[in-house]
Structure 1
Amino acid sequence: MFRLGCAALACLVALLWAGAAAPADQASWHVGEAGRVFHPAVVRHWRGAQTQALVTQIWYPVDPALAEATHDIGAPGHPFFHGHPAVVDAPLSSVRATYPLLVLSHGTGGSADSLDWLASALAAEGYIVAGTNHPGNNALEPMTRDGFMLWWERATDASEVIDGVLADPMLGPHVDRDRIGAVGFSLGGYTVLELAGARTNLAAFERFCTSPQADAICHPPEAARIHEDPGAPALTLATLSPETKASRARAGASYRDLRIKAVFAIAPALGEAFDSTSFADVTIPVSLLAGEADVTAPVNTNIHRIAGFMPKANVTMVPGASHYTFLDTCFPAAVEHLATICKDNPGVDRDAIHAQTAQRALDFFAATLPAGGS
């Protein structure tokens, strides 16, 4: 863990991260991008989503001789996020026979593309990264109440994406099945902890959010985007659908995916949904990272609470960074329109924090998913 005053950050950040530099002989690739739509074989509750499939973005290493093209994120002609240049639908690099796989989970109301900065950095260093847009809770279609509320269902999305990638004729034969990890942001950080074996205490979270101690995590700004049927009855336990009731009943189940060997959680949310027993089955390496200035997923009730239950986890606190510092960098024209997610605290260099965080993730996965490891 490191802590610096904001004034010291600019002059010391290079020293702090110098030890995290990649080895000089490590190969570097260009980044390929491809889309997939996975249709899991098992019929499942889709949380009222318009799209009843797992729309997935995949980043992967391609031959450096292939020219990357500009890839910005947003509506055509009106991008709001800078994207990393990429080669669309290019062949996977043949330099290695297999590559490690990371499944990526975005935050509430976000998208896999909102973490393009991280996925691209990982792909450029030899990882296949697969991020799905979680049904009912993404930026590309109306958010539903079940998509917003039934967080534990997201872990099943991630596991089914792994199934889909492993079965994919282009990618599957080239995945090192002994080197699979997970990385997530915000609610995606919670999701990857579930994949590691954490168990949710839904009743405890609901009690917290109706108590005087309730904080910002109980009222995320994305909740305003929930699509409501004007004619629907008021939401109570009695008016929940049978599917929603069944999902709530399995909230505390284990969603451990034994294929996943390490997880990296950025600004993990829902710390109050975990208790002292939640991490009893987590035996794989975990790394936690968040901004010290995070008021959206307040650090005391989220990353620090989670870390308190996992004394062996790596914990990194980034000075000055807020919650949305870990989304892609915005175009200047989008900053005022999307101030909540685009504006950082004075003196914070979002691109620099992205580079540092990506290197921290690379170092973590290099140590926990080593080539030739067991």
Structure 2
Amino acid sequence: MATLTASFDACADAFEAGFADVTLTDPVEGGPMPVIVAYPTRSAAGTTGLGPFTISARRNAAPAPGSYPLIVFSHGTAGTNLGHHDSLTALARAGFVAAAVEHPRDNSRDDSGFATDLTMIGRPHHIVALIDGLLANPTMGPLIDKNRIGMVGHSAGGYTALLIAGAVPSFARASEYRAVVEKNPALQSALQRADAAGSQRRRPDLEYISDPRILALVLWAPGFGYAFDKDALSKVHVPILLYRPSMDTLVPHPWGAERIAEFLPTRPEYHVLEGAGHFVFFAPCPWMLSLTARQVCADPPGINRAKIHERLNAELITFFRQALPPS
């Protein structure tokens, strides 16, 4: 694939963005699985308020007739399907359907499945169910070109995306990784929780799955990089756009993006965001959230998250247009 060259002019909005809530069924445990979907509309521009967030899309606007690529999003550990809402709506205005799932037991309201098989194996099952559910949805299904599907994953969502593309993780190097990062205060509680949770097998029948319908990946600060080596990534052959924030303290270099880039069968398009932290990919925070979620919302000095998102969203659009061309 050619080197990415995002053009803000080429990514000029072709549509406005509509917004819909969809509730699917968790394929792992059977409970509700909330999804948000942004899609192209010819209706007037509008916004939708959801908790502390203001989504730049009109709720339940009439979809613009057509057949559009689908981009699915997987958030990080204890994240939310609203965390990348600006990227979803940017894609919708550019002529994509973009959808984000709230991963059961690994979200901001309930992370009780952290580091267990319910999430480490279950997350890709959520993504497969997301695609199946949207294709079967009477409103969204007719809008989606089922032959043009891509995925964006942040942190644990990047791990999820690699599994979807055929990776089979191995945790044999977990002890080596631990020895490197055990003095990192930012990771201490996570390591302790992972120790406690990792020994639990709640669904012994649950197996790793992939989905060949997903033809391109964008990975933002992918997590659990120590679980991937050349063998683990040998079946991953889709185009990949990969980002590493240079000031990431939660996915320490070179155990994340750098390791994945080294072992992928084909070198990905790889960018380092100088001076940025792990949560730079999270949408710019409203002031209320900035007060209560400082770790997620605060950036290192000199980082303008809104400006970075202008670049990231333009590059998303360019990449997926190149990787998912009309047939």
* Same-fold call, TM cutoff 0.5: yes
3-state SS, counterpart of residue 366 of structure 1? helix
Please give the alpha-carbon distance, in whole angstroms, between the structure 2 residues aligned to 1:194 and 1:236.
18
Structure 2: distance between partners of 1:324 and 1:235: 24
2:19 pairs with 1:33: yes
Check 1:25–1:148 CA distance in 2 against 1; reply closer, same or farther (3 A cut). closer
Give 1:331 shift: 2.5
Distance in 2, Cα, partners of 1:215 & 1:201: 23
1:160 is the counterpart of 2:115: no
Residue type of the alignment partner of 1:45: V
Structure 1 residue 332: Cα displacement? 3.0
Which one of the candidate residues 276, 287, 307 is aligned to 2:230? 276
- Counterpart of 2:148 in 1: which secondary structure? strand
SS in 1 for 2:31: coil
Map of 1:119 onto structure 2: 88
Write the distance in 2 (CA, Å) between the matches of 1:223 and 1:213.
Answer: 9
User: Cα offset for 1:147?
Assistant: 4.2
2:252 to 295, 298, 304: 298
Match of 1:58 among 37, 41, 60: 37
Q: Does 1:354 align with 2:321?
A: no
Deviation at 1:152, TM superposition (A): 2.5
Runs of at least 5 residues in structure 1 that lack an aligned partner in the other structure: 1-16, 227-233
**Aligned partner of 2:144: which letter?**
V
Does the CA-based 8 Å contact 1:180-1:260 persist in structure 2?
Answer: yes
Give the alignment partner of residue 152 of structure 2, picking from 183, 188, 193. Answer: 183
1:208 match? 176
Determine the C-alpha separation between the residues in 2 that align with 1:337 and 1:86: 25
* TM score, norm. by length of structure 2: 0.89
Among 122, 136, 143, the alignment partner of 2:111 is: 143
Structure 2 gaps of 5+ residues are: none
Contact 2:11 2:317 in 1 (8 A): no
Gap change, CA 1:222 and 1:130, over 3 Å in 2: farther
Matched, 1:84 2:55: yes
Which structure's CA Rg is the greater one?
A: 1
Residues 203 and 218 (structure 1 numbering): CA distance in 2 closer, same or farther, change over 3 Å? Answer: farther
Deviations 1:260-299 (A, max 9, x none): 1101111111100112201111111111112111111113
SS at match of 1:112: coil
Q: Which amino acid letter does the alignment assign opposite residue 329 of structure 1?
A: P
Please give the secondary structure, in 2, of the residue aligned with 1:162: helix
Report the TM-score, using the length of structure 1 for normalisation. 0.78
Q: CA deviation at 1:236?
A: 7.9
Matched with 2:269 is 314
Q: In the TM superposition, what is the alpha-carbon distance from 1:157 to its structure 2 partner? A: 0.4
Q: 1:338 aligned to 2:293?
A: yes
Measured on the aligned residues, the alpha-carbon RMSD in Å equals: 2.7
Secondary structure of the residue aligned to 1:211 is helix
Deviations for 1:135-181, whole angstroms, at most 9, x for unmatched residues? Answer: 10111x3221x344332310110011000011111111221111111
Deviations 1:211-263 (A, max 9, x none): 3554759937678999xxxxxxx8684xx35x34444xx4xx4x221111101
Q: What letter matches 1:302 in structure 2? A: G
Alpha-carbon distance between aligned partners in 2 of 1:121 and 1:236, rounded to the nearest angstrom: 37
Distance of 1:220 and 1:123 partners within structure 2? 39
Contact 1:295–1:322 (8 Å) recurs in 2: yes
Q: Distance in 2 between matches of 1:329 and 1:225?
A: 29
Distance in 2, matches of 1:53 and 1:98, equals 28
Equivalent pairs: percent with the same residue? 28
Change in 2 beyond 3 A, CA 1:276/1:34: same
Name the SS for the 1:330 alignment partner.
Answer: coil
Contact 1:326 1:354 in 2 (8 A): yes
Measured in 1, the distance between the counterparts of 2:157 and 2:46 equals 28
For structure 1, which segment, 262-271 or 311-320, has the greater mean C-alpha deviation from structure 2 after superposition? 311-320
Partner amino acid, structure 2, of 1:86: A
- The 8 Å contact of residues 209 and 215 in structure 1, kept in 2 or not, is answered as no
In structure 2, give the amino acid aligned to 1:34: A
Task: Give 3-state SS (helix, strand or coil) of 2:69's partner.
Answer: strand
Q: Is the CA contact (8 Å cut-off) linking 1:294 and 1:321 kept in structure 2?
A: yes
Q: Tell me which amino acid in the other structure corresponds to 2:116.
A: M
Q: Is 1:67 paired with 2:35? A: no
